[in-house]
Amino acid sequence: MAVFKLEDFSFTYAGETNPALHDISFSVTEGEFLLLCGLSGCGKTTLLRQLKPAIAPRGRRTGEILFNGQPLRLAPPRSQAAEIGYVMQSPEEQAVTDKVWHELAFGLENLGLESRAIRLRTAEMASFFGIQDWFERDVSSLSGGQKQLLNLAAVMAMQPKVLLLDEPTSQLDPIAAADFLAAVKKINVELGVAVMMVEQRLQEVFPLADRVAVMDRGAILIDAAPRNAGLKLMQTHHPMARALPSAMQIAGALGGDSPLPLTVREGRRWLRGFLRDGAPAREKPEQESKEEGEPAVLMKDCWFAYEKNGTDIIRDLSLRIPKQKLFCILGGNGTGKTTALRLMAGLQKPYRGKIRVSGKVAVLPQNPQTLFLKSTLAADLADMLGFAENRDAKVKEIAELTELTALLGRHPYDLSGGEQQRAALAKVLLTQPDLLLMDEPTKGLDAHFKIRFSEILRTLMRRGVSIVMVSHDIEFCAENADLCALFFNGNVAAQGRACPFFAGNSFYTTAANRISREWFAQAVTNGDVVEQCEKIQG
């Protein structure tokens, strides 16, 4: 039986004439894992919210949404609240109360359950998720990934029949995201709860999904099994194809009759089949060459700890960052990446060692919202310049560079995540830095925005700006970085030009490299693998 069934559903926001969603017909069946994807602004969140009336935006609706065979609008509020679980993007803002136990109990309190029943259900959920040790902790003491898991558990405590997830991992690092997705899959498989998930990380979610729906400009473009959906996206050259799992993209570009692979494991098998004849022996990665010239940043034997006699966060770090290059710092949490960035920015001073930075430094903070002050973007940008001459011209110029010209009249908080990121970048660039430091700039950006973002970075480098970014986004770094460094335990474990750097790592590398490393030593991006294969094929 279908949990949700939409029949010719259309929706227009209050005060607007063009429908945000039109003629949508599809269904979610019991126990199904449905992935909903599409470019930013295609209406996927709008659609997801329609399925949860308590938070559906105001506007005009036509068509019908059936929930368990009954019109959703007639379902009693209590069952809407309990049976439809909804988890949002931000781990921070979703948590309402100060204690973990209270957060778990919050929904059940709203349903008016007895204390005894609440105790049982929270205990059950905490044990299911393995978070019983946190039960009496403060929510603020949890990490981002733990908070999001708590948000999921708090929704699950209400025992929903269907779980709606709106980009739940976009604010998490890869390891926390994997944990979260594993928990969702566990819920889906072990509890039989239907899942409908909006997500950017197609690489990880595609293999989990039973079915994939792709949205485009308010309509459902594709609704098929993951392999078929991927195939259709690539055949139509849809921009979303750039976000598909690497294995799929490589196989799709090379063609062939065998079904598309989804995971690295399947990709490897597929590539073995493809290269059956003429598989070349693995060549050695090329040695890196020494960088010459005046560096943008020079760190020598730096040591740093936040507290006197505290643990050293940075240990004996020496780093040379060349000018006009994109230098990416990768590594797990707590390895000192962000701290190194703060040292370069001069926000902290090492207790031993030297740092030399040439030129003016500016930092793009991880959360762009820490910068917005005024009520329009134009005023906000102008505020950076004080009473400088030709202020408006400068604002215009920077808005053009960051592709924000059309949005200058908007309130910064009315922009989407990707637009906010660029607005923050514009603000930072108005200080005319020679060295731009960025902390996780691609967090939460979709594939399309990432491409635009990397174009902006290239333009900046051409204009003489050197860029250092801290990132968890291996794929982005492999595509765009000139140089990479892997941080571990407050020091650099490996560094070099992007291509040999990733080729030299075994685990900490791109999916394309993991698929193809047996055959190609230098293939790091999907494009590299396809190119190498085509070379062999002649």
Partner 1 sequence: MKTNDFAKLHPVILFTYFTAVILFSMFFMHPVFLAISFFCGFLWAVSLAPRETLRFTLKCILPLAVLMTVINPMINHAGLTVLLYVNDRPITLEACAYGAASAAMFSSVLLWFSCSNRIMTAEKFISLFGRAAPSFSLLLSMVMRFVPRFKAQTRAIAEAQDGLGRGVDSGSLPTRAKNGMKILSILTTWALENGVITADSMRARGYGLPGRGRFQIYRFDSRDKWMLTILSALIFAVLFGFIKGENSIRYFPFLSLPPFSPFSFFLYICYFLLCSYPMLFNAVCEVKYHGGF
Residues interacting with partner 1, by CB under 8 A? 52, 54-55, 77-78, 81-82, 86, 88, 90, 92-99, 101-102, 105-115, 118-119, 122, 138-140, 151, 154-155, 158, 342, 345, 347, 360-367, 369-373, 384, 413, 427-428, 431, 437
Nearer residue to partner 1 within complex by CB, 84 or 533? 84
224: β partners: 212
- How many Å apart are CA 19 and CA 367, to the nearest integer? 32
Nearer residue to partner 1 within complex by CB, 62 or 115? 115
- How many Å apart are CA 202 and CA 450, to the nearest integer? 14
- How many Å apart are CA 387 and CA 501, to the nearest integer? 46
Nearer residue to partner 1 within complex by CB, 384 or 486? 384
Per-position b or e across 296-313, b if 16+ CB within 10 A of its CB: bbebeebebbeeeeeebb
CB of 532 to partner 1, least distance (A): 41
- How many Å apart are CA 378 and CA 409, to the nearest integer? 6
Nearer residue to partner 1 within complex by CB, 213 or 428? 428
CB of 98 to partner 1, least distance (A): 4
The interaxial angle of helices 526-537 and 246-254, nearest 10 deg, is: 30
- 3-state secondary structure (DSSP) of residue 360: coil
Residue-by-residue DSSP string for 367-413: SGGGS--SSSHHHHHHHTTTT-TTHHHHHHHHHHHTT-GGGTTS-GG
CA dihedral (458, 368, 496, 302) in degrees, to 10, reads 130
Nearer residue to partner 1 within complex by CB, 18 or 370? 370
CB of 367 to partner 1, least distance (A): 6
- How many Å apart are CA 138 and CA 157, to the nearest integer? 19
Nearer residue to partner 1 within complex by CB, 364 or 478? 364
- How many Å apart are CA 69 and CA 281, to the nearest integer? 59
CB of 466 to partner 1, least distance (A): 16
Cβ count within 10 A of residue 186: 12
Nearer residue to partner 1 within complex by CB, 282 or 360? 360
Surface-to-core class of residue 277, CB atoms within 10 Å of its CB (0-12 exposed, 13-18 middle, 19+ buried): exposed
CB of 94 to partner 1, least distance (A): 4
CB of 122 to partner 1, least distance (A): 8
CB of 415 to partner 1, least distance (A): 11
Q: How far apart are the first and last CA of the chain?
A: 52
- 3-state secondary structure (DSSP) of residue 414: helix
CB of 329 to partner 1, least distance (A): 16
CA dihedral (398, 400, 405, 408) in degrees, to 10, reads 0
Nearer residue to partner 1 within complex by CB, 150 or 319? 150
CB of 335 to partner 1, least distance (A): 20
Nearer residue to partner 1 within complex by CB, 413 or 507? 413
CB of 115 to partner 1, least distance (A): 5
- Asked whether 157 and 129 are in contact (CB, 8 A), the reply is no
Cβ count within 10 A of residue 215: 24
Nearer residue to partner 1 within complex by CB, 118 or 511? 118
Nearer residue to partner 1 within complex by CB, 98 or 455? 98
Per-position b or e across 255-276, b if 16+ CB within 10 A of its CB: eeeeebbbbbebbbebbeebbe
Nearer residue to partner 1 within complex by CB, 36 or 363? 363
Phi and psi angles of residue 449, each rounded to the nearest 5 degrees, phi first: -65, -35
CB of 342 to partner 1, least distance (A): 8
Q: Which residue in the block uniquely carries the two structure tokens 């009473």? A: 387
Centroid of chain to Cα 232: 24
CB of 322 to partner 1, least distance (A): 22
- Asked whether 494 and 355 are in contact (CB, 8 A), the reply is no
